A and B are shown apart, each in its own frame.
Chain A
Amino acid sequence: DARVTQTPRHKVTEMGQEVTMRCQPILGHNTVFWYRQTMMQGLELLAYFRNRAPLDDSGMPKDRFSAEMPDATLATLKIQPSEPRDSAVYFCASGNLPEGGVHEQYFGPGTRLTVT
């Protein structure tokens, strides 16, 4: 049963520290999404990639957040420096995107980030 995996599952760090979250999309999927979920804002899209190229990162604070796909099996989301307001659950999702678009997005279990 193919699944999206994310590491770490939990991360506690101090303000100002760098945080890197990793995602392994489902093999063969060509689109990767990063979402953030908080009680106040709900689930919001930060960025997504197609065939490893960034398509949309308009939801991501550019000054401290960066997202990359070093290869087809790994996506990373980095926060530097981290702030308490970044505390949230970060989800990665993948899908197969033909030219017509993605119907189904498969979500990982999330990384719960706490910045103190």
Chain B
Amino acid sequence: DAKTTQPPSMDCAEGRAANLPCNHSTISGNEYVYWYRQIHSQGPQYIIHGLKNNETNEMASLIITEDRKSSTLILPHATLRDTAVYYCIVRALNYGGATNKLIFGTGTLLAVQP
């Protein structure tokens, strides 16, 4: 699975958009980009995933560059409850179900400031 690089920490003002970058320059054509987050003392939470196209759901938007070497997770209106460690994970799906590992790196600690 491709390695990802994320800044260790970021700050964001409450109510503003939080843009979390992720570099995955060695991503392969069949690898998806996933974002999870972990709020303090809780289990990780799935946010969104994408392959090539930009994706949006009720939690966030995912922007993937055309060359797929980087992506940005956007929380449109950050709240204090969005303070968490955000993990960017790149992984291929293995048809036949052989491997479904999520390999978590160190992530980005997003601190939303009041």
Chain A residues near B (Cβ < 8 Å) = 4, 31, 33, 42-45, 48, 50, 55-56, 91, 93, 95, 97, 99-110
The size of the chain B interface, using a CB distance under 8 A, is 23
Contact B95 A91 (CB under 8 A): no
Given contacts A42-B105, A42-B106, contact A97 B100 (CB under 8 A): yes
Dominant secondary structure of chain B at its interface with chain A: loop
Contact A105 B99 (CB under 8 A): no
| Contact pattern, B 79-114, Cβ under 8 Å of A = 1, otherwise 0 | 000000000000001111111111111100000000
| Contact pattern, B 21-60, Cβ under 8 Å of A = 1, otherwise 0 | 0000000000010100010001111100100000000000
- Enumerate chain A residues within 8 angstroms of B49, measured Cβ to Cβ: 103-104
Given contacts A91-B43, A107-B45, A109-B42, contact A55 B95 (CB under 8 A): no
CB distance from B30 to the nearest CB of A (A): 11
- Enumerate chain B residues within 8 angstroms of A107, measured Cβ to Cβ: 42-45
A36 vs B35: C-alpha distance in the bound complex, in angstroms?
19
| Contact partner, B100, options A4, A31, A42, A110, Cβ 8 Å | A31
CB distance from B87 to the nearest CB of A (A): 8
Contact B105 A101 (CB under 8 A): no
A100 vs B99: C-alpha distance in the bound complex, in angstroms?
10
Given contacts A101-B94, A103-B32, A103-B49, contact A108 B43 (CB under 8 A): yes
The 9 listed contacts between A and B (C-beta, < 8 Å) are: A31-B100, A93-B44, A100-B93, A102-B100, A103-B46, A103-B93, A104-B49, A105-B46, A107-B45
Nearest opposing residue in chain A for B38, CB measure: A43
Contact A93 B101 (CB under 8 A): no
- Enumerate chain A residues within 8 angstroms of B38, measured Cβ to Cβ: 43
- Enumerate chain A residues within 8 angstroms of B46, measured Cβ to Cβ: 103-106
A4 vs B104: C-alpha distance in the bound complex, in angstroms?
20
A99 vs B99: C-alpha distance in the bound complex, in angstroms?
11
Given contacts A42-B106, A103-B32, A105-B102, contact A93 B97 (CB under 8 A): no
